[in-house]
Chains A and B, each alone.
Chain A
Amino acid sequence: MSALPPYATTGQRAWYYSFRVICGLIFFFLIAPIVVIIPLSFNSQDFFTFTPEMLRLDPEGFSLKHYRDFFSNDSWQSAMWNSLKIAPMATIVSVTFGTLAAIGLSQPHVPFRRAIMAILISPMIVPLIISAAGMYFFYSRIGLQGTYIGVVLAHAALGIPFVIITVTATLVGFDRSLTRAAANMGADPVTTFFRIQMPLILPGVISGGLFAFITSFDEVVVVLFVGSAGQKTLPWQMFIGLREQISPTILAVATILVAISIMLLATVEMLRRRSERLRGMSPS
């Protein structure tokens, strides 16, 4: 498929190009719904569609009013701050526990490895509504329902599978003789961990952390049940907005979130390539 050979028949040519067009359309389907939000968010009217002024590229048709609304509206602002308070804490908890466990899991002889792995990945698999309902009942019983700590713990649990998956994947390529060499030269396990192992697996740990961050930052079902009005996050506010009266401010929020996702994606891709390069350099 990489290139059309010169002897290709007309039929083959037709197929070659139509296949590419089909793929192009699928890529369009994937990306268009995300991209279309961006110009719509600069609409100067309270409409959710392109106004004639916008289509004429008339500057009158565009404005920053939805962004101004987002930054001046109290409920949106408190939602944003709540999200920014919850997500980093949840990330720290899941990265700390997750990295330690991933290192344990990648040791050569771990009893019940498969079963442990299945349990640790389960928060990703169990339908969110079931996790949310379970946490709602259980956390109310132990007094964590409606508290900041409750939401952080719940989100940390949801982020853990992502940390485990990315960090164990990085550890697969980790050269064990490096830690042995360090031990051989007199380093104790803690020094070995922080000076040898940690710098090498750091890209994986950071990627896992970013996954955990975005999981918490985007999460709405669990926070709806476990949180109370004091923990209303950005996705929660969006959910209410979409369900009750949809206000165009959502478009501005969505655009900001898309920008954040692009930044996170770029970081993860950069880290992935860096660690692939590093792995290519170290002897296998």
Chain B
Amino acid sequence: MSDTTQNGPVLAADGTPLKRSLAKALRMQKLRALMLIAPLLLFILVTFILPVGDMLFRSVDNRIVQEVLPNTVRALETWDPASSEIPDEAVFAALAVDLKAAAEIKVHTKVAKRLNYENPGLSSVFRKSGRKVRKWDVENEGPYKERLIELNDGWADIELWRTIKTYSGTRTMGYFLNAVDMKLGATGAEVRPETERIYNTMLIRTMRMSLIITFSCIMLGYPVAWLLANITTRSANMLMILVLLPFWTSLLVRTSSWKILLQQQGVINDVLVWIGLVGDDNRLVLINNELGTIIAMTHILLPFMILPMYSVMQTIQPTYLRAAKSLGATNWTAFWRVYFPQSVPGIGAGSILVFILAVGYYITPALVGGTKGTFISNLIAYHISTSGNWGLGAALGAILLAVVLVLYWVYDKIVGIDNVKLG
């Protein structure tokens, strides 16, 4: 300190003040670290984060209506959807212009498909009229209102116009509302009638089954982790192989194995019949239902529960248990009051991991779940690859992703992602 006061700041060998020199060195170090990380970060951004973001955007994207029916949307601005009158001639004239233009490049079917998601039946109105209007002279062959209604009386339905008006913006909450079994009515969001609700049931089922799977993993994983943590390292290493082998075995191998074991003519039923527990004529139905999914997924995810539990239990001193017992605690009290609270972080880490992995499962429910045991992922896959309703698939995906990311954040807070162990 005295140096500084007498001769100015401490200098590095090249004459710059030591403080600045150190700051510069630290900055260089940070920069070098970032340079090493940058290629991978860029790679992940392009190959993974951007695609996921792109898909999420589809859940609110509604540009198609304005792109295909620009004049109609503008003309509809003054129309009040709450009124009981269908729009006037000006709107119909605009529609005729739009329909003709769209039919010529064959995009009227796209908007028909889009609006049909919201109001089933709309698609045929657009398709049939589009084909005819294509041959019209849309400049001076009015009145279009009468002609269009004559062509297809669907145009006289006020609900059709309300749907177009509601979905005329470039962004929509419609897909998200659909994904939670609601719809965008003329006056705002409303709940769908009970018979049309499927997505909430599916979301709740996914959550419920993931919880059951997580719970079964805790019940099965805890004793094993305890055993592994309380025997000699040598035997623990040997037994650990039995935990790690399923972890390394192909997911499809394990799923096909369960599919074969759980069939009505499969090994498990054969054994049960042979023992005499079950009659040959009423073999158990273990597959293509919730039970099949739960059994197979518990088996598949169990290693993810055992590994974090084991690494926490390894750090618990056995002397604590002995101390508790020597102070007069029974075995149960010693376990419940002394050992168990210390093992809770392991249970927490394992449970979050298993739950995160379980809610997003696709392959196993698709193969052993039948119709009763499928998850929200299967519904997303259906909308992306079969029904073509990408927006709805994206909205369901966004909801699922939100659930997973919240749990990921919690996991990071309490466990830290750097502490994930893989065997």
Report A's interface with B, CB cutoff 8 A. 1-2, 12, 15, 19-20, 22-23, 26-27, 29-31, 33-34, 36-37, 40, 47-50, 93, 97-98, 100-101, 103-105, 107-111, 114, 116-123, 125-131, 133-139, 141, 153-154, 156-157, 160, 162, 165-166, 168-169, 211, 214, 217-218, 220-221, 225, 235, 238-239, 242-243, 246, 250-251, 254, 257-258, 261-262, 264-265, 268-269, 272
Minimum CB–CB distance from A174 to chain B (whole Å) comes to: 15
For A103, what are the chain B residues with a Cβ–Cβ distance below 8 Å?
36
The contact of A238 among B226, B256, B303, B412, by CB within 8 Å, is B256
Q: Are A33 and B248 in contact (CB under 8 A)?
A: no
| Contacts A116-B37, A138-B50 given; does A133 touch B55 at CB 8 Å | yes
For B33, what are the chain A residues with a Cβ–Cβ distance below 8 Å?
104-105, 107, 109-110
Q: Are A221 and B363 in contact (CB under 8 A)?
A: yes
For A101, what are the chain B residues with a Cβ–Cβ distance below 8 Å?
36-37, 39-41
Q: What 3 A-B pairs are tightest by C-beta distance, nearest first?
A: A127-B360, A104-B36, A138-B51
For A254, what are the chain B residues with a Cβ–Cβ distance below 8 Å?
250, 252-253, 256-257
For A169, what are the chain B residues with a Cβ–Cβ distance below 8 Å?
421
Known: A103-B36, A238-B256; 13 extra A-B contacts, CB below 8 A, are A33-B257, A49-B266, A49-B267, A104-B33, A121-B417, A127-B359, A128-B377, A133-B394, A134-B48, A157-B43, A160-B43, A225-B385, A261-B253
Whole-angstrom distance between the alpha carbons of A214 and B253 in the complex? 13
Whole-angstrom distance between the alpha carbons of A53 and B255 in the complex? 26
Whole-angstrom distance between the alpha carbons of A221 and B400 in the complex? 16
The contact of A114 among B227, B356, B360, B412, by CB within 8 Å, is B412
Whole-angstrom distance between the alpha carbons of A265 and B244 in the complex? 8
Minimum CB–CB distance from B399 to chain A (whole Å) comes to: 10
Fill in one digit per residue for B220-242: 1 if any A CB lies within 8 Å of its CB, else 0. Answer: 10011011001110000001011
Q: Are A214 and B224 in contact (CB under 8 A)?
A: no
Of B48, B259, B266, B385, chain A has the most CB atoms within 10 Å of the CB of B48
| Contacts A126-B52, A165-B422, A211-B422 given; does A36 touch B261 at CB 8 Å | yes
Report B's interface with A, CB cutoff 8 A. 26, 29-30, 32-37, 39-41, 43-45, 47-56, 58, 220, 223-224, 226-227, 230-232, 239, 241-246, 248-261, 263, 265-267, 270, 299, 302-303, 331, 356, 359-363, 366-367, 377, 380-381, 384-385, 390, 393-394, 397, 400-401, 404-405, 408, 412, 417-418, 420-423
Q: Are A129 and B381 in contact (CB under 8 A)?
A: yes
Which residue on A lies nearest to B247, using beta carbons? A265
| Contacts A2-B230, A97-B43, A262-B245 given; does A130 touch B401 at CB 8 Å | yes
For B361, what are the chain A residues with a Cβ–Cβ distance below 8 Å?
127
The contact of B404 among A22, A36, A125, A235, by CB within 8 Å, is A125
Q: Are A26 and B223 in contact (CB under 8 A)?
A: yes
Q: Are B223 and A97 in contact (CB under 8 A)?
A: no
| Contacts A23-B224, A265-B241 given; does A235 touch B250 at CB 8 Å | yes
Minimum CB–CB distance from B204 to chain A (whole Å) comes to: 17
Minimum CB–CB distance from B26 to chain A (whole Å) comes to: 6
For B260, what are the chain A residues with a Cβ–Cβ distance below 8 Å?
37, 40, 48-49, 251
| Contacts A133-B394, A165-B422 given; does A109 touch B26 at CB 8 Å | yes
Q: Are B29 and A257 in contact (CB under 8 A)?
A: no
Q: Are B37 and A49 in contact (CB under 8 A)?
A: no
Whole-angstrom distance between the alpha carbons of A80 and B384 in the complex? 27
Whole-angstrom distance between the alpha carbons of A126 and B362 in the complex? 12
For B265, what are the chain A residues with a Cβ–Cβ distance below 8 Å?
47-49
Q: Are A257 and B41 in contact (CB under 8 A)?
A: no
The contact of A156 among B47, B223, B422, by CB within 8 Å, is B47
Whole-angstrom distance between the alpha carbons of A120 and B54 in the complex? 18
Q: Are B384 and A107 in contact (CB under 8 A)?
A: no
Q: Are A130 and B397 in contact (CB under 8 A)?
A: yes
The contact of B248 among A93, A131, A264, by CB within 8 Å, is A264
Which residue on A lies nearest to B377, using beta carbons? A129
Q: Are A136 and B384 in contact (CB under 8 A)?
A: yes
Minimum CB–CB distance from A94 to chain B (whole Å) comes to: 9
